[in-house]
A and B are shown apart, each in its own frame.
Chain A
Amino acid sequence: MATVTYSQASRHYPGTDRPAVDKLDLEIRDGEFLVLVGPSGCGKSTSLRMLAGLEDVDNGAIYINERDVTNLPPKSRDIAMVFQNYALYPHMTVYENMAFALKLRKTPKSEIDVRVKKAAAMLQLEDYLSRKPKALSGGQRQRVAMGRAIVREPQVFLMDEPLSNLDAKLRVQTRSQIATLQSQLGITTVYVTHDQVEAMTMGHRVAVLLDGVLQQCDTPRALYDTPANVFVAGFIGSPAMNIKTVTLSDDGGIFGQMVLPLTRDQIAKAREGGDGKVTVGFRPEDCQLVSASEGGMPIVVDLVEDLGSGANVYGHTAINGSEERFVVATERRTSVNLGDTVFVKPRTDHHHAFHATSGVRI
């Protein structure tokens, strides 16, 4: 049971001109499942490794339960980590792998046995305790790595993309298992992934990072509904939000003949240093296909991804002379064909506006 606090924590690799993690401020509550997400190279793994003690903290501090752990070695932090490639000890059996950390702490043999058996039962590994890792499948190895963390009963779990080596189906299955397990155990968890679907489905809160800078940290719903800037808006959600920088009028953003209405407040903010432009975004699923007379934007269909439950329609249109691409998620059984021209109208009040130069939500 622990809280974790990053306070202005930075990591600057020698020989690079910008920090890998830049003044990270983050508070993780007791028992919370926090997901760090971002594109590769955004510093999410580095942040996690700083918390683990595997990476130096150049500036700022990290606290676990208000205890400053910034300069403590990993073993004094009472954390357990699950690695992307599992990092099992190949010469030890599953049982020995899970018992290793406990043995190091001189836990009595009988207690080790109880805890390992309990964790093995949770993870359906009882039949494999005497096997070596090489005799296990990928999913089983992943569970052993989880088990090795669970038996420790640590203050904090750290997971570094633990699902990325599993195949798609197993990944979805294990995703829900991990989330369930975490809520059963109630141990504070920091989870790193590059997959926004994983982040949205597993996290109590999600922290989005880009270039070492924290962009936004909030609940999945809040990230989806009110992204703090253009990057978060484009990163969260699949297919990605349609985001275009268009000319600003007195009523809103001009998309060809269509105008996306903005409030007076938003227009005023967009005008400040916005150079007469505004960045407007609307999600593919917040659109309707309408008839030509209803004032939608005409789009020529380039590609239709039929998912069964619905379809993603990719198309293009010309705005101010340049070709712009759009994605629209249509409902089930709407038939759209390649080369058709459809008329798209975003649902009222479901679009997002950002400052054209700074990208900040307005």
Chain B
Amino acid sequence: MEKHSKAYKTLAAGVAIAAVASIAGLALLVNIFERKQEAKNPFFRVVELDDAVEDPAVWGKNFPLQYDGYKRTVDMKRTRFGGSEAVPRTPTDADPRSLVAQSRIEEDPRLKTMWAGYAFSKDFREERGHAFMLDDQTFTERQRVVQQPGTCMHCHASVYVPYKKLGDGDLTKGFEKMNKMPYQEARKLVEHPVSCIDCHDPKTMELRVTRPGFLEGIRNLKAAEGVKDYDPNKTATRQEMRSFVCGQCHVEYYFKGPEKRLVYPWHNGLKVENILAYYEKEGYKDWTHKISSAPVLKAQHPEFELWSQGIHARSGVSCADCHMPYTRVGALKISDHHVRSPMLNINRACQTCHHIPEAELKARVENIQEATFKLRNRAMDAVVDLIADIEKAQKAGKPEALLARARGHQRTAQFKLDFIEAENSTGFHAPQEAARILAESVDEARLGQVVLRDPGYKPTLTRLDK
């Protein structure tokens, strides 16, 4: 091999360095060019969208970044008090899922006592992301314990197009028809979990409410406030819509009458006592308690209701502000369609407004949740104690009128507890309100116990609320 001079080697090294530098320079240029292009074109229209396109993958062609986030709702990640854990299971013919979320009734068996005689005492798991809403509803064991109606589809599937098809173009007619179907029959009409078209107008991408349950519920609520014929799609502000689209489903509800019509019980207002008063007036019960025979109610994820009583709602902060905060992708800024707990995204979710360290924000939230959780445990103990006392009183052959009084206390105590238990923020959406409701629940349950021991008992103070 020939020996090269020192100068020759230096030259060769110089060429190599210069070449690498040129490559780096070119890469930087291309990167800057891409960012500039992104800033110019917020989106490319590659498909035409209309009111019949249900498949989110088609919408995703025009909005790949939003679609990418939407698909990420498959993640299973715990927070301290919520979030889901991926629990492996052996798939069966009836239930092909190989992963499910942790069981809440195994975590806290008191729930089985509280829900005795109701399908939730058989299978109730931590909720998973939007991506699983249809599967987890289709395959829950509750389906095998009781015949569910087609009404469930309202919030467990992308149902806008199926409703319109079923109602020959009329959304409400389709809604009414599907409510009456058995679950399994209605299940064949839907294909996707919540999808783009459920919240967005395909032409303008503006937010819109598509769920008849919410449209009727908010109309009743506004009527109670003195506003006639309220239609959010016509009069709500953009910021209101950023909560209303979520409130289409994250609410308390019940199935009314033999036609199983989905109704949001907001006729008197959104507070727990307003809702309870409505159920009393309707004489409604979800089921008869298996142990105590009390006519009881099951609260279901009243996020919209509890949030509306909190400081964030009062300050004009919407659901999307924290659960879908703005996020930057290259030069673009979009709403994060990976809907999730703000606790998994504190920087974007909280720090836009709260200029304090992430660790401090997390500690503040968990402080609230821990206090709520302790109160919730107290209330749960109280309700379980009352149920045991009623059982004993029944066996002892206590008079029916006395039992009915105690059962009334159980109904109220249990609903108030469940209102916070079923709500998915462990009190964070409205800390003071959650604490008030749980304190009333404890009081109500213990009152039931007192009454059984001392039938002549009357509370010392006039009780203003029921």
Are A and B physically bound partners? Answer: no
Binding site for B on A (CB under 8 A): none
